Every structure is written in C-alpha cells, then in structure tokens.
Structure 1
Amino acid sequence: MRSESTLETTRRQNKKTRKERSHRIAMFGAASLAVVGLVTGGAFAAQASAEAQERVAATTELAESTGFDRAQLGSYAGIAKAHTEQDATIALAAANKVIAANKHKVDASDLTEVASSLASFETLPLDKVVSLTAETKAETVSVTLAAAEADRAAAAAAAAKVAAAQAAAAEVAKSLATSNTPEGAKATARAMAQSKYGWGSGEFSCLSQLWEKESGWNYKAYNPSGATGIPQALPGSKMATAGSDWATNATTQVAWGLEYISASSYGTPCAAWSHSQSFNWY
C-alpha cells in the first residue's frame, strides 16, 4: 500500500511539472509577442502576433498531450525527418533501377519525371518529400507491371513465331515426303515437262520408261559407278546446279534431269530413251 501511494504521488508531481512548463512556455510566448507589437506596430505586428500565438498554442498543446518538452519534440521531429529522407532514398533507388531495366520496353517518362523531382529531396519541404515519395513508389509499381506485361507479350509472340515456323517446316516435310515418292516424282516431272519444255504425254511416256530403267524413280538410287538419284547423274553432285538439296529432294533431281536431256544432244526424252535402248545408257 505504501509503494502505491508513493507512485501516485510521483505521478501527480510529474503532471504538475508538465503543466507548469506549459504555462511558462505560454507566458514566454505572450511576452515575446508583446515586445514584437511594441517594436513593429501596425497591421504587420498584429498578423505576426496572431501567427506566433498559433505556433505557441500548437506547441503547448502538443507538449501537454505528449508530456514532452520543446527539446524532446525537436528531437522527434529530427527522427521523423531522417525516416522520411531514408524512405525517399530507398524509393529513388528502386525507381532508378526499374527505369534502367525497362526504358526500352515501356514508357517510363512519368516515373523518370517524378524520380527527378524526388532526387532533390534534401532541399524540399518535408511534406513535399512525403508526397513525391508516395508518387514515385506508385509509378515504380506501374512501370514494373507494364514491363512484365511487355515481357509476357514478347514471349507469346516469340512462341507464336516458333509455332508458325514449325508448322511451315512440317508442311514442307509433308510436301517433300509426297513428292519424294515415285508417284510424286512422276507427277512433278509430268507437270514440269509440259510447263517448261512443252513436252506432252508422248514424251513423258518415254521419260517414264527411261527413268524407270535407270532408277525406278527412286531419289535415293545409287550405282557403284557413282551415278545418283532419279536421272542417275554422274557424279550426283552435278545436280547441285539445280539446288543444294539435290540429295534429298526428288523435285530438284527431276529439274536437273529434264534440263540435262533438253540441253544435251538428245533434245527430248524420246531421243534419250532410244539411245538408252541401243547402248544401255544415255
């Protein structure tokens, strides 16, 4: 019971001390205002007096409500300023990092502008620093989200491009597989002989028999002598004049074989077939 009484007494003394300190502050402020009024006089003195009274009243009210004196309040204001500037520094560093990483992906002009304003935070009013810091953080998030969306769109476009290339390659492979069969090669030769050389069904009949004898219309046919492919070019590399894919594409081999017959002394498939029947080669 004695300890509680002592504690209560101490509390009352502290409260009394705070009130006396507040009253002294108010009295000092009032005295200062009186001096200002006497020295300056006029409307300016009245206005200055009113503003000073407001500041004194605010300081007094804050001191009474918190129990802190003016020195303590100044110390806490310094701590608040330090925290605000540290927050600004962190926000500014994050903004600059995002700008550097994404300036070529998305429009970061708004973030660049507000970050530039925040960069001089040490010379700005504290409330302005707080406002610019919040705006910088918001713009940083906005640019980050926009960059993520740009990355997603780029990845989707790249995937679509790869898929299209794969589809085209598959279509080419399918077409090649069809044209590389004996029947596919014959169809190609018939169309090419007619469109490019004007050779009709009679000449194609001779051509069909000639290359049936030579290779069975097999683009992979190979003779130990070195003769290769459907027209049995000797060596097979001669067909490179018609295309670099001569070893794997029946159409390229057909194109080379038709041109060879046309440009040679035979002139036509039937003349070449006649020579082959007589000498077993053409």
Structure 2
Amino acid sequence: MSRISVRGFAVASATAVTAVGSVVGVATGSTAQNNDAEAPAADVTLLADIPAGQQAQVQTASLAQQADAQAIAADASAKKDAEEAARKAAAQTAFAKKAEAEKAAQEAKERKEREEATSRSATRDATSFAVQSSYTAAQIQAMARQMVPAGQFQCFSNIVNHESSWNYQAVNASSGAYGLFQALPAGKYASAGADWRTNPATQIKWGLNYMNGRYGSPCQAWSFWAANHWY
C-alpha cells in the first residue's frame, strides 16, 4: 500500500474523519482485518503519517466537524419542533375564536328573542284605546306603535304609507278598497271588530294579523310589497 506525505494542514483536516479511525486500530496494536474489507485508498492520509506536532490539530478539527454536524442536526430538530408548536398554537387560537363567535351569536339570538318577547308583551290591544270622534295621522301612528312590535313597526309603516298615507277612511274610488290597508272588500276588517269604520285601532289589528298570517311578519310583507307593489 502506497502512502502519501502530508501536504499541509488542509489535507490533514479533510481526511481526519476517516484517518482517525484507522489510526486507533494501529495505536492499539490490532492487526486483524476483515477479509471482505476494501483496501484503503491510495490517496488517504493516515494520522500516523502526519507529523506528531500536527496530530492534535487534526484531531481537534475532526471533533469540530462532528460538533458542527451535531449542531446542524439540533437546529433542524429545534426548527421542526418550533413549527409544530406554532401549528398547534394556531389551531388552538382558531378553535377559541370559533367558540367565542358561536357564543356571541347565541347571546345575540337570546337577546333578540328577549327583546321581541318584551315588545310583544308591551303591545296593546285595539280595545284598550278610548274611542274618539276623529283621529289625526299622528294619533293613528302612535296607536300603531303601541300595537306593532318595535322591530316590525317601520316595515308596517312603509306599507300603510303607500296604501293610505295613514288615512283610516281612505277609499279607492275605482275598486272600493278601504281604510289604512285598502282592504277589499272593506268588510274584511269586521273580523277584527265591528267598529272598523270608526276605530283605526281595529283596522291596525286587522292589518297586523293579515301580515303575520299571510307573510309571517310585517317586514316579510313589506319585502313582498317592495318587489310587487301589492300585498
């Protein structure tokens, strides 16, 4: 087996990783070799070929290379662990936000239901108003505000504005439609009370029942009216 001389510390450092293992066997006096093992390459510099003054430097360089490799592996492992921790944190944050949104939606729904229940309990019946000989539009609107749930009043008002401008005695000359809601025939109001001709509250009661019964609510009735210009 031919051996090459040391050409400098750079050569020694580059071959130190393989050379150190070979020299350890020589240093312990071991001469046994596996018959299947390949012969050392001709250009491999053994530690024994390196001057004694440089052997410590070569060994130090080998250890430094091993330390660098271990540091790189540790950095990769730490990066992987950090990414996994970040994914878990993001998932936990998303779950928490979803739970908060669902809780807020439920609270809003319950609040709306309470408000509607309060509004319904606060509405007055048509018979609770004192009968007058005549009514202004403002008085009729005030009555309606006390009979129609607050959240539905604007839609209710939109329809009355278009149908009669809050005139409870309005008559359509061509069709005979009558009152606040231009009921046709006019006698439909009688289902809410016999005084429908003289009591706006009775007409309001009939109109509210009609919108709720046919469309589900005044606002749903208004949506239909806005699309079709009749209801």
Tell me, yes or no, whether TM beats 0.5. Answer: no
Structure having the higher helix fraction is 1
With the length of structure 2 as denominator, give the TM-score of the two structures: 0.41
How does the TM-score come out when normalised to structure 1?
Answer: 0.34
